[in-house]
Structure 1
């Protein structure tokens, strides 16, 4: 199946849905119509549609077609089913963003770091702390560890930009999957110093272990979110349950 053609169909239909060309509840064009428009096979169209289903844009209805169920994500919302950088989230939600590096050092994982992150004891790591601003206000504090062997030339200057852009475009890394845990925790003095929590005494913490295409965990990050902007969106599908 031509990946380029599949990606083209997915992107075009996604853009039409997000722009409102297809209204909520409206059926998308039929398979035959899409096959004619994009000059492709039925399987290619179905693959694009299945990806839209997976991403929560459409729903297939037996005997009727494919229905648009997309609702715009509220500003500041993050999506649970995808891996995207802070900058990508800000661009998607139409907000101005900036990143400031608070601390940056190279270290060796001791037992405490290994227990927290999942890196083995003795692993050489870059340890850094960054604040992420949205529309001029600090809203996220990131405490991260990156595996030095995967990015030996990592610098504070790179960390102040898009780390994932550097990994993917400069180093050619393929980022594949993330194990994610979401908790609510009492604010620490570091949170209070950098996030201006005001009346809040707790915040949402998203802990990520991120893996590349070689199966190597190259990143552990705790994203500590100001409660005023924390909102995650997920698209869930109910699996059939066998009842005996």
Structure 2
């Protein structure tokens, strides 16, 4: 349904266990995201922006956090709405990267330095989309063209450290968009880049959103 939000966060509460007892990371956060919509979360450093977005991916648990209350309603590709806060990690593995993509703040932490760009782009496609090696490579080239990377055939054979910061972030966006997720979460995707490239990356994300309907 087009008028149905893709994601609804309702009264989210996240706690972190410390030696002095639980510390509240975010409390009573609610917002929704509709198809093809961009929602920006603004706040000072430490206000819980990343915690909120990592909760939707259920990645907050890997950093010692716990979803202590609220709902994370997600409208899945097959039309079934579910509360991600209650999903098990096996199901989350299928959803992560496939139905919800993520772009992190620092591209070098999102990319594996020991694998080529091509290997990293094709991995998700082979896992989530059951593509053959050659199908995944064709799609990887298409993605690099989509994010406006020059000489894409050459880039596939390169390693992350051989690319500039702006180009690495484009690869990260290509990886996040590879399986055509319904929802793309970007955690300060332009912080590590200079101003001209920031504008390009934001325009790129806006164009991909219009072309694919990703929220």
TM-score w.r.t. length of structure 2? 0.30
TM-score w.r.t. length of structure 1? 0.27
Greater per-residue helix proportion: 2
Greater per-residue strand proportion: 1
Give the number of the structure whose alpha-carbon radius of gyration is greater.
1
